[in-house]
Amino acid sequence: MKVGVVGAAGRMGRMLLKGTIAAADCTLAGGIEQPGHPEIGADLGRLAGLESVGQALGDDAIALFAAADVVLDFTLPTPTAGFATLAAQGKTAHVIGTTGLGAAEEEALTLAARHTPIVYAPSMSLGVNLLMAITEKVAAALDQGFDIEILEMHHRHKVDAPSGTALGLGRAAAAGRRVDLDAHAVRSRDGHTGARRDGDIGFATLRGGDVVSEHTVIFAGQGERLELTHRGTSRDIYALGALRAARWVFGKPPGLYTMADVLGLG
């Protein structure tokens, strides 16, 4: 399986390069960055912290999507939407771990998935996706007497909040309760907010240090509280999950898939 990496000089991009190079069943098809990036021309193996592989970091997205069977993408919302279009044109499978996508970018993925298989998930962590499945089941089992709050913490450099994973957990909880998340989400509280409304799904965000990721879903009832927590201590988990998704999606028919599908939970 020929695997390409976009955003290959970023922190996650380097992890994806490393995982791909180390995988016995994968061949590195190439890696790119935006034109003008200072690392253009650098050896991809060296970027991954490994020995030279004789392939240089490029900037030609069209060529990468033409050369690869699957492209791994942990970039930014606007580039990801453009990459999805390239994937559709080249019938290249696309594995997307980008967070912070808005309605327009998600619509671009939906359109592209008519022509090529795409795995899109707010987190590629296997543990997080199991947490989402459990969250939905618990939310369905517990009645409205249990308030749902989602707490997340990431490193100080993360630019979007709440995290894509936290929002994914919120969607899982809302699905369990059979409600629309947008109608029930409370993303911030400040000042005199009044009493908590029944049915709200609250989000709290912490940022600091080098925390990779921490997510806790709290079900707070009268006299008892259930907390479901996942802690990520290495970004390796996202690369491992992305490669598992790549192996699963390669050869699949066009469609928009999730990690729940990859894990057999969908």
d(CA 150, CA 111): 31
- Residue from 154, 184, 215, 230 carrying the catalytic annotation: 154
**Helix/strand/coil percentages in the chain, nearest 5:** 35, 25, 40
Q: What's the rounded Cα separation, in Å, for the pair 84 and 111?
A: 9
Q: Could you give the CA distance from residue 77 to residue 122 in angstroms, rounded to a whole number? A: 12
Q: How far is CA 238 from CA 60, 94, 128, 194, 206, in A?
A: 25, 15, 10, 39, 20
Q: What is the dihedral sign for C-alpha 15, 17, 23, 25?
A: positive
For 251, the token pair is: 């050869």
User: Two tokens at 180?
Assistant: 């629309």
Active-site residue identified among 2, 37, 115, 158: 158
**Tokens describing residue 234:** 């290495």
Distance CA(242)–CA(21), nearest Å, equals 14
158 is catalytic: yes
Catalytic residues: 154, 158
